[in-house]
Chains A and B, each alone.
Chain A
Amino acid sequence: MINHETELKLQAYLDGELSPGEAKAVEDLTNRDADAWALFEELKLTKSLLAENELEVRLPESRGFYWSKIQRQIEREEKEQASEQTEAAASSWWLRFLAPAAALVALAVLVVVALRAPKGAETLVALDDSHEIETPLEETSSFSFQSEAAGMTVVWVDSHRE
């Protein structure tokens, strides 16, 4: 019985996939081994039967109808592609201006905060009558803010202070 490697060699010989040296060895084998020759003939006949007899199939749609489907799909995909490109262009425009705009806004906020920042503790106390800020002398690590108008009391405790 022929081993699988030899079977594949016989097939490769048939398909012209062997080097001249290997082809010669397989040819010698088919000349002296009846089993190898029979298998080679079977493979050869099968190959030729297949090569010459592929079933002819026709598309069961008219030329006009088939083309109209293709054309519609081409147009649809072109539209989609165009809108994707527009979106991409728009987003890149935004991205181009987003970074400097953000920097400008941050700078403006910084300027406003700096201008409005309290100059000293007096400013904090100089609120209208409805507000009170208490800073107990013995406990300087806490402050309390009370507003009658807003009806709220807020106490700051500086836990990091020793």
Chain B
Amino acid sequence: MSRKLDYPSAADDALVKAAQKADMQAFEELVARHRDKIYARAVSMMRNEEEAADLSQEAWVKAWQRLKQFQGEASFVTWMTRIIINLCLDQLRKQKRLRAESIEQLDEELGGVERQMPVVTPNPTERMERGELRQRIDEALGKLSCEHRTVLILHEFEELEYKEIAKRMQCSIGTVMSRLFYARRKIAALLAGWKREEFR
């Protein structure tokens, strides 16, 4: 007779195996463990809490439906993060169709404002609490265009390589590199600007 799984103390792998055998309680435990991370990624990409909540819910439903496909090459949370990223990218693509993108594309081709900026030292960590710094960085991310923010999130937070980002964003590696460069420079300028304001 098989031993009953102790859900709160079970490892993710054990919960995944149980969930793959249609154990909903095991899946519920996985949702409870990782729901904040999945939601946070959706918030950072969508910049809209309501939309992020809906998409994260959809991601969990998709995960349940595709759970048998999960072979454990990566960790469960990495697999889940990929699902939410793809859902967010699909949603952003849908929304982008409604927006004019020509100005941004032209800006990128010409080098953008960020290229003309002098080199700065974006070190706002002095005299700043970690929580406040995180808040500032998040505000700076909010000021980026959707394409620049997405490439930055995928590279800096998800640690994806250029090639992988290009595949997911359906663009060339050159575009990824260019977008990442402008995004970093703009973030640097914004953080340096806040630092200057503080010392004034």
Report which A residues bind B (CB closer than 8 A): 4, 7-8, 11-12, 15, 17, 35, 38-39, 41-43, 45-47, 49-51, 53-61, 63, 66-67, 69-71, 73-74, 77
Contact = CB atoms under 8 A, between A and B. Distances in A.
Contact of B36 (A53, A58, A67, A74): A58
B77 interface: no
Contacts of B187: 46, 50
Contacts of A74: 61, 64-65
Q: In this complex, which of A4, A51, A70, A74 has the most chain B Cβ atoms within 10 angstroms of its Cβ?
A: A70
Nearest to A39: B119
A81 to B, nearest CB: 9
A73 B57 contact: yes
B156 A51 contact: yes
Tell me whether chain A's interface is mostly helix, strand or loop, or mixed.
helix
B115 A4 contact: yes
Nearest to A10: B181
Contact of B43 (A47, A57, A67): A57
29 contacts: A4-B111, A7-B115, A8-B174, A12-B162, A35-B119, A38-B119, A41-B119, A42-B188, A43-B185, A45-B121, A45-B188, A46-B122, A46-B187, A47-B156, A47-B184, A49-B122, A49-B191, A51-B157, A53-B134, A54-B44, A55-B137, A57-B40, A58-B36, A59-B39, A63-B35, A67-B32, A74-B61, A74-B64, A77-B65
A92 B121 CA distance: 68
Contacts, number: 119
Contacts of A54: 40, 44, 134, 137-138, 157
Interface string B111-153: 1000100011111110000100111011000000000000010
B31 interface: yes
Contacts of B20: none
B24 interface: yes
A83 B135 CA distance: 48
Interface of B: 24, 28, 31-32, 35-36, 39-40, 43-44, 49, 53, 56-58, 60-61, 64-65, 111, 115, 119-125, 130, 133-135, 137-138, 152, 155-157, 161-162, 174, 177-178, 180-181, 184-185, 187-188, 191
B61 A49 contact: no
A59 B53 contact: yes
A78 to B, nearest CB: 9
A116 to B, nearest CB: 59
A23 B60 CA distance: 42
Top-6 shortest CB links A-B: A57-B40, A55-B138, A50-B156, A59-B39, A38-B119, A46-B188
A38 B138 CA distance: 25
B45 to A, nearest CB: 12
A8 B130 contact: no
A17 B130 CA distance: 30
Given A7-B181, A45-B123, A50-B157, 17 more contacts: A4-B115, A11-B184, A15-B155, A17-B161, A17-B162, A39-B119, A46-B184, A46-B191, A49-B122, A49-B133, A50-B156, A51-B157, A53-B134, A54-B157, A55-B40, A58-B36, A74-B61
